[in-house]
Structure 1
């Protein structure tokens, strides 16, 4: 199987660039450096299965757990499993048949979105409780009313999410992934090292995140949300590559990525929570911790100061 990588402006495509390039039409390709199998590893076929098979199994397990008990922990776990597998498929995407890889990533994104509304309500419920317990601001009886309204909205959201996860679309995706992974792996070259495929993509995505977040505290909510998506992909793909290389993702770079992803998620939850409260209880106020912007500045500074350690893992 000939290997290629989509490029934009001469560089390996990041997730957003690949999406835009796909809408514009065919893109040029560059060859991935090959290395004959010497026993050093990890190599593409084995690495692909080592990363993706456990993630597909975890996705199936978490889907069943969610259908049995659609509580907040199972919602969070299922969304996380889908996102990690989607990041892994992005990481190996250039070596996979484009229609299949794109279909799997698109369907995983669909699955995550089917749970988004439910997860947003869970976060808002948790914040109402924590704000009251930790005295984030003035407490009023309206918070009890808001909690009740959000709880009622969650019941409807649970019904919609369960129906989606029980649908034929979800079953075909989740139940068929492991078989597809085996078929896809059979077509991968055994003489191509994983780092020859993955490292250029990680480097370019890291560079894009650093460029897009230079003025992070002044970014509009929408641009901050897009940046958060790229940070998540970079984090999950970097962790997968580290584990594949036999290293624990615990150095300063991985910690900084995790912290940055977390605070960007908190800020996104602030925005989503405000919209939810306006829809459910017009005139109400969504709970929000006052220190988030300061945390964002500190998290970005730590990320900027960190150095990726992928090359030392290759």
Structure 2
């Protein structure tokens, strides 16, 4: 399976539109001869078009230089990741490798032909002075048909896609096309073909609940969008998916009176399970990088024995195990049920009617709860360092919940809420650095024990442990300063309204 990142833009054009000369844009000096292509693509989706609604497009295409199965992830008009898989002559169902990637978007449901797109394409390559392809420009005459309703459409479309060019070239071509009368198109060809069914109105939350529901829906969508990357172990995808899970759990707790209590608590439990599958992957990735950097930062005469190699081997094995377990979880019926019931909760009617004051009270309560936990953690009456570390970790988690709650109100409050979000994030980061030190010291202690058992020198692990302990000793003043910055009266006054 091949994976490519498309950097393209789409435009509609009237019948009289003429493609402008694009030489001079971002180093383009000449244009290749035109190539005519006939492309035929059948798009598959669930009965309720979950793939399309989630920003996924699954097709089997014939014709062109990349015929076969394609799965596109992302919004049209921006960067999109495309997964390509060859198709056999009689293939009617997508290969298992692609099914695994869109399982979250389909909620585990079967897919079937939903639309057919036939395209007559005139394609040209834009070349630099060395003959290198910088971009491709295509003039498409398109016919689309919804295979369920039978609705047909025809249109003309211009598509530009970077090859070796950069964003400056994309911007220059965009400006020239718009000046010639082309209009940006924010949707894909398949969306246009399915427009009738995609336009069916969906239930909208009542005004008071809308900020909370919209926030939760946005992070439900992030979770689904990051699924393909997480399966591949992409660090950013795993991180973003994990954060989306945290935000959803936190939102269901902070605003739990909004929904049926039994269902929302079931979902929180299942989201905790999903987070527990993502956590070992992400934590292993972060810790491996953290310790590798720490070893490389030490003077060579303080690194005794194969420390870097041992760390690399240990975390490579841990990561492989964690990824296998994550992939099994993402392929499970449990995960599909979680997503389906999350949809039902967030897209269905809420359990009560609320107003902005109800939301504001719960945001204020989340912030106050975090303040109280930090105050107790810093009170200095802990008998052991481990107790204080655990209390600071709980405060950090409370500030995450507070930050997510404030984010719900950010669209309505504006700059004041955005500033508090930034300050809460700063405090969360300082508390996070302290927790990282706690976890890193424990990992180093265990690693030193393994080295000793295998007859290796544990000196370097002790050096690294001492440096982490010294950094932790400096955390308290930084935490206090960051907390003071979040508690300034002027910054928080809006919370009381």
Question: What's the TM-score bracket when you normalise by the shorter of the two chains?
Answer: 0.7 to 0.9
Q: Displacement of 1:52 after TM fit?
A: 1.8
Structure 1 partner of 2:223: 59
1:115-142 C-alpha deviation (Å, 9 max, x unpaired): 2222221121111233245449944442
Moved more, 213-222 or 97-106: 213-222
Q: Following the alignment from structure 1 to structure 2, what is the Cα–Cα distance between the partners of residues 84 and 103?
A: 16
1:58-115 C-alpha deviation (Å, 9 max, x unpaired): 1111223212x11322221111011112222223311211101111112111211222
Structure 1 partner of 2:291: 128
- Note closer, same or farther for the CA distance 1:183–1:70 as it changes in structure 2 (3 Å cut): same
Q: Displacement of 1:248 after TM fit?
A: 7.5
Relative to its length, the structure with more helix (as a share) is 1
Q: Following the alignment from structure 2 to structure 1, what is the Cα–Cα distance between the partners of residues 310 and 493?
A: 49
* Structure 2 residue 369 is matched with structure 1 residue 208: yes
TM-score where L is the length of structure 2: 0.49
Q: Displacement of 1:179 after TM fit?
A: 3.0
TM-score where L is the length of structure 1: 0.74
Contact 1:260-1:299 within 8 A present in 2 as well: yes
- Note closer, same or farther for the CA distance 1:75–1:222 as it changes in structure 2 (3 Å cut): same
Q: Following the alignment from structure 1 to structure 2, what is the Cα–Cα distance between the partners of residues 157 and 95?
A: 35
Q: Following the alignment from structure 2 to structure 1, what is the Cα–Cα distance between the partners of residues 444 and 246?
A: 27
Give the one of 321, 331, 337 matched to 1:166.
Answer: 331
Structure 1 partner of 2:256: 93
**Secondary structure at 1:180 match in 2:** helix
* Unaligned stretches of 5+ residues in structure 1: 1-40
> Matched residue pairs, number?
267
Relative to its length, the structure with more strand (as a share) is 2
Structure 2 partner of 1:305: 488
Moved more, 90-99 or 227-236: 90-99
Q: Following the alignment from structure 2 to structure 1, what is the Cα–Cα distance between the partners of residues 389 and 281?
A: 21
Give the one of 40, 57, 78 matched to 2:241.
Answer: 78
Contact 1:149-1:280 within 8 A present in 2 as well: no
Contact 1:264-1:296 within 8 A present in 2 as well: yes
Structure 2 partner of 1:268: 435
Cα RMSD over matched residues?
A: 2.9
Q: Following the alignment from structure 1 to structure 2, what is the Cα–Cα distance between the partners of residues 249 and 131?
A: 37
- Note closer, same or farther for the CA distance 1:277–1:72 as it changes in structure 2 (3 Å cut): farther
Larger-gyration structure (1/2): 2
Greater RCO (CA < 8 Å, at least 6 residues apart): 1
* Structure 2 residue 265 is matched with structure 1 residue 102: yes
Structure 2 partner of 1:10: none
Contact 1:59-1:174 within 8 A present in 2 as well: no
* Unaligned stretches of 5+ residues in structure 2: 1-204, 381-386, 450-457
**Secondary structure at 1:213 match in 2:** helix
Q: Displacement of 1:42 after TM fit?
A: 8.4
